[in-house]
Amino acid sequence: VAELSRSAVQQLIAENHVTVDGRPVAKNTRLKTGNIVHCTVPPPIETQISAQHIPLDVYYEDADLLVVNKPKGMVVHPAPGNYDGTLVNALLWHCKDSLSGVGGELRPGIVHRIDKDTSGLLVVAKNDFAHAGLAKQLADHSMTRVYQAVVYGGLKEDTGMVDASIGRSERDRKKMAVTQKHAKTAVTTYRVVARYHGFTHIELRLKTGRTHQIRVHMASIGH
């Protein structure tokens, strides 16, 4: 099913939409010669999110995707505490019916995201084919995400890497932290752009995309 991402296919398997010889199976099932695999792709869930006329700073747009500059303070998609005024609400108005459904009901068209207080460019898929292709490029790192940040203090080295797993903080479950308990691998590389008194301007690239990864990794090394 070439138009679907790996994670989308895994979700279909988990929801019993994929059968082997007529029976639902686990995603790690090993196939044998002669097995018949049947996959049913259900239609996207109709979104209940309202379209809102919120101005967007669009850098690029064609029939398949658009690149939008998300301002600081805007949430990417609806979540508890932020059910409107999000980028998705604005995209539904801007794109009308042209947004992919791969992300599910709450994230139409959203291929990747950045934090509420982070500004920057986001690529948005207008159809499922574009969404799968963009997701694959992110997964195999043929498309890269570059971040700019100003951190406290002076970094000793001009380049470096932080390889430390991230999970929920045991002290505060609302926060993420470097931990080994129920954590996921996280790798961040950085290089110094400029140095100032008490601060350092750095460029960062993420090999993984964990929640608050840059903030957590920089804090873990004292910056």
Which are the catalytic amino acids?
A: 115
Contact 130, 64 (CB under 8 A): yes
Contact 204, 188 (CB under 8 A): yes
Q: Any idea of the CA torsion for 80, 81, 85, 89, to the nearest 10 degrees?
A: 10
What would the two tokens of residue 99 be?
A: 């947004």
Of 184, 189, 181, 191, give the one whose Cα is nearest residue 211: 184
- Per DSSP, the chain holds a count of helices (H) and strands (E) of 4, 12
Of 74, 98, 99, give the one whose Cα is nearest residue 87: 74
**In a 3-state reduction of DSSP, which class is residue 82?**
strand
